[in-house]
Structure 1
Amino acid sequence: MCKAGNLSALSQMLQILNDKNIVVSPNMYNLILVEASQKNDIVLSCQMLKKLLLSGESPSATSCVKFAQAFREVNQFTELIIFLKEIVSETSCSSISSFINKIIFAFAKSGQKDSALAIFEHLRGQNNSCLDLITYNIVLDILGRKGRVDEMLDMFVSLKETGFVPDTISYNTLINGLRKVGRSDMCFEYFKEMKENRNEPDLLTYTALIDISGRAGNIEESLKFFMEMKLKGILPSIQIYRSLIHNLNKTENIELATELLEEMNSSSTCLAGPGDFKTKRRQRKT
């Protein structure tokens, strides 16, 4: 029935099964959710999401993205908020946080960042206890990508006031958001705070700091971060090598640039590339 697109008949069949107390598998709910979302059937999509959650299962990330994409074609955001508030009130906070995170991320991923932020604000106003650190990290990332860094900084303060302790992801998101709008001085302030709070910098942290220093013409600072990360056992990425080599050539330090080029080429098979950064970002948001 799904392949034939007969969602009305499928919905009736599910109702009959439910009335007879016949258990429907979560995979079936997920399948119907995807099909209903692709046809912009918001009512059936919401029904399937609710049944999945009440069955103890969480919709897949792919299903959530399909669900969000349906709202690009219809103007039913008010209905969505009402639905999400109902879900939050009927589901325990321990199981709803992951779902809320997937939904907010899905709307952002489908090009509806303002809607993602609106969902967060509506739910924060209703029941802040069902939001977690991952939720705040996703919102920080959305604000940073939109260049709304003042709001991002306010959200970081709110994160801490709510009682959450920022982690490495929180600081990386903040630093990268500030880096993109050229506020390098604040990047180093938060890097200092990050280390003071015993959050270990990782490859993403050093990539941002090396880029910031290089763009400012401070090659010595870039090299200092480069050595620091290697001493910590963090393998530099191809992106870092290329950034350093480019800036060394600009300052006519050809000898060191050549040395780093040879080092990069000799270990290129085990260095992180652009695809690894995308994978890391996907992992930190789920």
Structure 2
Amino acid sequence: MILNQKNLNNFINFAEKLIKKSEKIIIKQHINTVKVKYKKDSSPVTKIDQLIEKNFRKEIKLKFPSHGVYGEEYKNSKLNNDFIWVIDPIDGTKNFIHGNLSFGTMISLLYKGAPLFGIINSPLLKKTWKGIKNKGAYLNNKKIKKNSSNLSLKDMVISHSGMSAFKQLPENKLYNKLSKIIRYFILGGDCVQYGLLAEGKIPMVVECDLKPYDFMPLINLIEESGGIITDWKGKHLSLKSNDKVVASMSKKAHQEFIKISKTI
């Protein structure tokens, strides 16, 4: 399959339909008690996570049988294909199961390793963020203006998803070092904090212990809203990236962060 504007529009429309279906499942189930199981790494998973990803995979296989799929809950397939769908059925499962609204469903399509677009849907916050390569960033289908700045690291408020990700010594050292430089840390909400960053409400997000399905759908949104997103060494993100991600609306602060992280 070739990549052209018509096909790209078809891909985006298809992804948006999947997101709408997942939203209905989440809204219907969220009012009920959610049964939780735990994976080998102690991270929680629910039947809702599994149902959404299973539905996504089924629809992708029917519509685009040659495309690859990289997801959280099931075995990845056809990763040698030029087109690969990246799925996170519920990013922020811990928040979801405890009634916190800061969670969402994410989907992205990669072409030859680079994301063409990414969608983050937070159904209970009634927000859908979308980034399309070279076409802009959107909140509920309204274009987001570029929110880039030239603030220094000392001016940053940094969002993260919890201290458990910083429990290892190198990451903990970085956290302590940053705490003496920046204004303060705030506790974010997984994918939602990146949406708020794109809106210009959060200046920087720093996380570790992530998987590619946690960050690949974010790339277009952040870049198209005027921001930067890389690993902690400043390298571009890919399916082969490590678990550490920093996103910022300030190139200056981003570079200062990377300089510090390289010393840890």
- TM-score normalised to structure 1 length: 0.25
TM-score scaled by length of structure 2: 0.27
Answer 1 or 2: which has greater helix percent.
Answer: 1
Structure number with greater Rg is: 1
The answer to which structure has the higher strand fraction is: 2
